[in-house]
Structure 1
Amino acid sequence: MNKAILLQPVQDFLHQYRDASPSDIALRKSPFSDVPSSALAQQIDGRQRAARKIAPWTLVAGIYYPEKLSLEQCSSEETGHFKASLIRRGTKLIDLTGGFGVDSFYFASTAAEVSYCERNNDLAEIVAHNFQTLGLENIGCHPGDGLSLLKASNEHFDYIYIDPSRRVQQQKVFRLQDCEPNIVEHQTLFFSKARCILSKLAPLLDISLALQTLQYVKAVYVLSVQNDCKELLFLQEQGYEGDVQVHAVRILPQRRQIFSFNYAEEQAAESSLGPLGAYLYDPDVALTKAGAFKSLGNRFGLTKLHPHTHLYTSARLQADFPGRRFQVMAVHPLRSLKKGICIRKANVITKNFPLRVEDIRKKFKIADGGEDFLFFCTLHNGEHAAIHAQRLPEE
């Protein structure tokens, strides 16, 4: 950490060029003898990245930004707020894999005491400075490996929070046991130090496989922002033996939509299959990742187009559906599509369909974009078709 960056003339420069191209700044000669151009560019780039994920931090003078990897891997303001809502007020939490400290920051708004651990000493120094700059007084910063610190500690915590790395020796890993640290291997240690474990896991993780390897899972949260699955959260509570509650959380600009179910309910449900109605529904990615296929349609009284086509329909609009809602304009059977369709520009989506989007565009000469949507899918009778629809605004 170059503390010369915190000097007022440097801070004034960074504020003046906050919207400049970092690469342009890196190529210029630095006006400061003790701060190279590359360091100035890193601060400007970091602030610009933070503005897209944790905008409130960029309004505070003196925040120090680390290398871009730490910012790419950190949580966003939206997901940080949500995780903090899962923690009981007045509790003690230890964050074993602190990173840039975003999650610890939001946990501190709910927990009485947060212990932040980070094995990268340079990053830990930056985060300790930022916490002080942000005025946080209930976070203790502990440079070093979180597991080693936990083993050596005599404290007992209400929560252990962990975000294991999905990149090991420069290679991406997908099994929970291959992540670092291995949370499956260390469950006994964790439960000897805390009653609850909250783990942030990769969106690509197979939820059912994780449930087979983790003990006492009470709840799973699937978080999406702008129809992009951002995080899986597994909450374990020592001794819990009930059904796992699954919560598909759709984070919108001004509100959250949460669809909760359990897998016993999903397995017992029967989908109502039938023809296309006046409205079409495309569930948010949080719902599909969570596996709420049959229970979703039943809960909202919708008809499914096909057992493997995850689109729903109804004669009357269901305004609270957790996903995109469309008004159906027409349906074109594939066998007569070239003669029956005159749309030359549309958003093409495939659901349970044998052709790829790029192949469909080429075959039917459809440009990308515009107000129209074409859903190429399989209907309840097995027929392939293109549904022409227009999206309805969010309420």
Structure 2
Amino acid sequence: MNRNILDKEVQQFIKANREKSPTEIALKKSPFQNVSSAELASQIDGWQRSVKKLPTWAYSDGIYYPDKINLEQCSSEHTALIKQTLIAKGSRVIDLTGGFSVDSCYLAQEAEEVIHCELNEKLSEIVAYNARILRVNNLKCIATDGIAFLEDAEDDAFDYIYVDPSRRVNQGKVFLLEDCEPNIVANQTLFLRKSRYVISKLSPLLDISTALSSLKHVRFVYVISLDNDCKELLFIQERGYEGECTIRSIRLFQDQLQTFEFTYEEERAIISRFLLPQKYLYDPDVSISKAGAFKSIGKYFGLGKIHQHAHIYTSDQLQVNFPGRIFEILDVRPYSSLKKQNPWPQANIAIRNFPDKVEVIKKKFKIKDGGHTYLFFTTDINNQLIIIACKKLA
């Protein structure tokens, strides 16, 4: 951490040039003797990456930005807010894999104290400095290995353990939960001895059922999406819990939040209703699809599925609170009719349980992207290939 970057003149320069290209700044000679042009560019790049993802940091004067990989890997403020709701007021928390501390800082707003463990000494120093700027006075930064620190702690030293295992090991990407660092599967007995609750932030690519077979005492799984992009899976373990795991999908969009919860036991017991396309079409948010609530969501909103393997739904009555995109159906045609005449030279195309890919369809029928028409190429309950033309309502 180069503290010369915090000098008033340097900070003024960064603020005055923060809208410029970091590459442009890096190629120019630095106006400061003790701060290189590369360091100036890195701070400007950090600010630009933080504007949408971390506005509290971006619009607080004097923030020191770390290497870009730390900003790429950290949580957004949107998802950190969700984690803040998971802990009790005045609790004791340890973040075993601290990183840039976005989650730790939000947890600290509810906790009595948060211990932030980070092996990278430079990053730990940056976090400690930024915490003072942000007035997060109950965040204690320790440059150490979180597992080693936890092993030395007394049993029940904490109320919550928070861990975000790295999915990059030895410069390569890993896909199995057991291959991440730290190995939360191997360490879960240790975790549940030191704390009653364990909150694990896991990759959105992870298969939830596979993870549940490896982790014990999971009470909740949170599937969090932001603007229809699945961002995180949170697994909440509670010492001694043996009941059914509740799956909660959380949809964040346009400064709104929608939640839906179910259990896999309930999902398995539901018999779906199937319908030909009615007046409205519903395309569930990725948080619903990733959670696997394919039958539960239809039952809850009284919808019919278009086909067993096409996870889109239909109804005659509008369900305005459906967690996903909502369309009014304008036309339904057999796919074969498109060979004779294509009435849609421009449209937004989606496929659901359909043999051809989007690019193939666009090329075959000369359909340009965009416009106000949405075309769903799918299979109906009679196993007929159809096109559902819609306009988007929400």
Question: What is the rounded CA distance, in whole Å, between the counterparts of 1:253 and 1:156 in structure 2?
Answer: 39
| CA-CA distance at 1:392 after TM superposition | 0.5
Where does residue 43 of structure 1 map in the other structure? 43
Give the percent of matched residue pairs that are identical in Structure 1 and Structure 2. Answer: 53
Shift of 1:36: 0.4
State the match for 1:312 in structure 2. Answer: 313
Alignment partners' CA distance in 1, 2:210 and 2:284: 23
Unaligned runs of 5+ in 2: none
Partner amino acid, structure 2, of 1:45: D
1:72 paired with 2:72, answer yes
Q: Residue type matched to 2:143 in 1?
A: P
Distance, in Å, in 2 between the alignment partners of 1:145 and 1:338 is 63
- The match for 1:111 is 111
Q: How does 1:10-29 map to 2 (within 5 A)?
A: 10-29=10-29
Match of 2:280 in 1: 279
How far did 1:340 drift? 4.5
Query: Match of 1:368, SS?
Result: coil
SS of residue paired to 1:271: coil
2:342·2:365 contact (CA, 8 Å) conserved in 1? no
Deviation of 1:307 (Å): 0.5
Checking the alignment, whether the CA contact within 8 Å between 2:46 and 2:71 is kept in structure 1 is yes
Q: Tell me, in whole angstroms, the C-alpha distance in 2 between the residues paired with 1:326 and 1:132.
A: 48
User: Aligned residue for 1:172?
Assistant: 173
Query: Aligned AA for 1:199?
Result: S
CA shift digits 1:227-273 (9 cap, x unpaired): 00000000000011111000011012332110000001000001100
Asked if structure 2 preserves the Cα contact closer than 8 Å seen for 1:332 and 1:340, the reply is no
| Separation in 2, partners of 1:341, 1:271 | 33
Between the aligned partners of 2:110 and 2:379, the Cα distance in structure 1 is 47
Deviation at 1:335, TM superposition (A): 1.2
Alpha-carbon distance between aligned partners in 2 of 1:56 and 1:332, rounded to the nearest angstrom: 50
* RMSD (CA atoms): 0.9
Secondary structure at the residue paired with 1:344?
Answer: coil
1:43-62 → structure 2 map (5 Å cutoff)? 43-62=43-62
Equivalence for 2:370 = 369
Alignment match, 1:98: 98
Give the structure 2 partner of residue 269 of structure 1: 270
Structure 1 residue ranges (4+ consecutive) displaced by more than 6 angstroms after TM superposition? none
2:224–2:230 CA contact under 8 A, matched in 1: yes
Which position in structure 2 is the counterpart of 1:144?
A: 144
- What secondary structure, in the 3-state scheme, does the structure 2 residue paired with 1:380 have? coil
SS of 2:115's partner is strand
**2:216 alignment partner in structure 1:** 215
**Matching of residue 87 in structure 1 with residue 87 in structure 2:** yes
Which residue of structure 2 aligns with residue 185 of structure 1? 186
TM-score (norm: length of structure 2): 0.98
The answer (yes or no) to whether the contact 2:303–2:313 under 8 Å persists in 1 is yes
Q: Could you state the TM-score of these two structures normalised by the residue count of structure 1?
A: 0.98
Instruction: Tell me which amino acid in the other structure corresponds to 1:344.
Output: P
Q: CA separation in 1, counterparts of 2:340 and 2:327?
A: 24
Distance of 1:388 and 1:379 partners within structure 2 = 14
Q: Distance in 2 between matches of 1:157 and 1:30?
A: 47
Contact 2:228 2:253 (8 Å CA) reproduced? no
Answer whether contact 1:92 1:158 (CA < 8 A) is retained. yes
SS in structure 2 of the partner of residue 165 of structure 1: coil
Tell me, in whole angstroms, the C-alpha distance in 2 between the residues paired with 1:344 and 1:15: 47
The AA in structure 2 aligned to 1:379 is D
Q: Which amino acid aligns with 2:305?
A: K
Tell me the distance in 2 between the aligned counterparts of 1:253 and 1:63: 27
Deviation at 1:339, TM superposition (A): 2.8
* Corresponding letter in the other structure for 1:118: E
1:159-183 residue CA offsets vs partner (Å, 9 max, x unmatched): 0000001111121111111111100
8 Å CA contact retained: 1:332, 1:341: no
Tell me the matched-pair count. Answer: 393
Quote the offset at 1:141 in angstroms.
Answer: 0.5
Q: Are the equivalent residues in 2 in contact too, given 1:352–1:377 (CA < 8 A)? A: yes
The 5 A counterparts of 1:305-384 are 305-384=306-385
How far 1:112 sits from its partner (Å)? 1.3
Cα distance between partner residues in 1 of 2:349 and 2:161: 44
Distance (whole Å) between structure 1 residues aligned to residue 184 and residue 356 of structure 2: 40
Cα distance in 2 for partners of 1:133, 1:232 equals: 30
Distance 1:68 1:368 in 2: 34
Q: CA deviation at 1:338?
A: 2.8
